[in-house]
C-alpha cells in the first residue's frame, strides 16, 4: 500500500530530487505532503502545466496556462502551495490550498460568494503524468480535507473542468458531490467555451 506522511509546517523536506523525465514509480512508494519552497516554484509551474496540457488544445491554454506556471502569483493568493514528494523522484504533485475558497475566485465569479461562507477549497490539483494513478492526487486531497476539518471549516469545495473526468472520479470516491451553485463557464483564448463544474464535501 501507499504510506502518506503529512507535514503541516514549513519544514525542510526529508529529501529532494528533480523530477526525472522518465520516472518508474512503484505503488508502494512513500508520499510526503508538505508546503512548497520558494526555490521550487518554477518546477511546480512546469509540473502543473505538464499535468494539464493534454486535457486542452494548446491554443486554448493561453492565459490559463500562463497562470498555472506563475506559482509566485498563485502563492500570493493561496494560503498554502502544497507539494507531494516520492522518495527518489522528488516533487510529483502539487495544488493551491485556500482556507477561504472565496479568496480563489476571480472577478467574473464573485456572484458565487454567498455560497462559499465557511468553505475551504483548493485549485490546480496536478500530478506529473509519470506519477498518475499512484495515489498522489488522493493524498493531496486527503491532506486538504483533514486540514479543513482541523481548522473548523464547514466544508471543502473546488471547481473542475468538465473534461477532467479522472479528477472528478477521485473527488466522488472521496465523498464530494456536485455543487451547481458555484459552476460557471469561461471563454478560452480561441473563443471556445469551457464548462467548469463545482464540487463540495460537507463535514
Q: Between 173 and 88, whose confidence is greater?
A: 173
Cell of 162: 468538465
**pLDDT at residue 108 in the model:** 52
Q: Between 105 and 31, whose confidence is greater?
A: 31
User: In the beta sheet, which residues pair with residue 165?
Assistant: none
**pLDDT at residue 187 in the model:** 79
CA distance 129 to 46: 12
CATH class of the region 3-153: alpha beta
CA distance 39 to 89: 17
pLDDT above 50 (res 171): yes
Q: What are the DSSP calls for 10-75, one per residue?
A: -PPPS---PPPSS----TT-EEEEEEPPGGGHHHHHHHHHHHHGGGS-HHHHHHHHHHHH-HHHHH
User: In the beta sheet, which residues pair with residue 160?
Assistant: 197
Enter the pTM of the model: 0.83
**pLDDT at residue 180 in the model:** 94
Question: In the structure, what pLDDT confidence band is assigned to residue 45 with cuts at 50, 70 and 90?
Answer: very high
Q: pLDDT per residue over 83-128, tens digit each?
A: 999 887 899 999 999 999 999 886 556 677 888 999 999 999 999 9
pLDDT above 50 (res 67): yes
Amino acid at each position: 500500500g501507499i504510506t502518506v506522511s503529512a507535514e503541516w509546517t514549513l519544514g525542510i523536506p526529508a529529501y529532494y530530487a528533480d523530477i526525472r523525465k522518465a520516472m518508474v514509480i512503484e505503488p508502494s512508494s512513500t508520499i510526503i505532503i508538505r508546503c512548497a519552497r520558494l526555490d521550487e516554484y518554477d518546477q511546480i509551474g512546469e509540473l502543473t502545466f505538464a499535468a494539464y496540457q493534454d486535457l486542452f488544445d494548446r491554443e486554448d491554454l493561453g492565459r490559463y496556462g500562463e497562470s498555472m506556471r506563475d506559482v509566485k502569483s498563485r502563492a500570493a493568493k493561496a494560503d498554502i502551495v502544497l507539494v507531494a514528494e516520492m522518495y527518489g523522484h522528488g516533487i510529483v504533485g502539487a495544488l493551491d490550498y485556500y482556507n477561504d475558497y472565496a479568496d480563489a475566485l476571480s472577478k467574473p465569479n464573485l456572484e458565487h460568494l454567498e455560497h462559499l461562507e465557511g468553505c475551504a477549497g483548493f485549485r490546480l490539483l496536478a500530478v506529473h503524468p509519470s506519477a498518475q494513478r499512484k495515489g498522489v492526487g488522493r493524498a493531496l486531497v486527503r491532506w486538504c480535507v483533514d486540514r479543513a476539518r482541523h481548522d473548523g471549516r464547514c466544508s471543502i469545495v473546488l471547481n473542475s473542468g468538465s473534461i477532467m473526468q479522472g479528477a472528478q472520479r477521485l473527488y466522488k470516491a472521496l465523498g464530494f458531490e456536485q455543487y451547481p451553485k458555484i459552476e460557471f463557464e469561461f471563454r478560452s483564448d480561441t473563443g471556445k467555451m469551457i464548462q467548469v463544474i463545482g464540487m463540495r464535501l460537507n463535514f
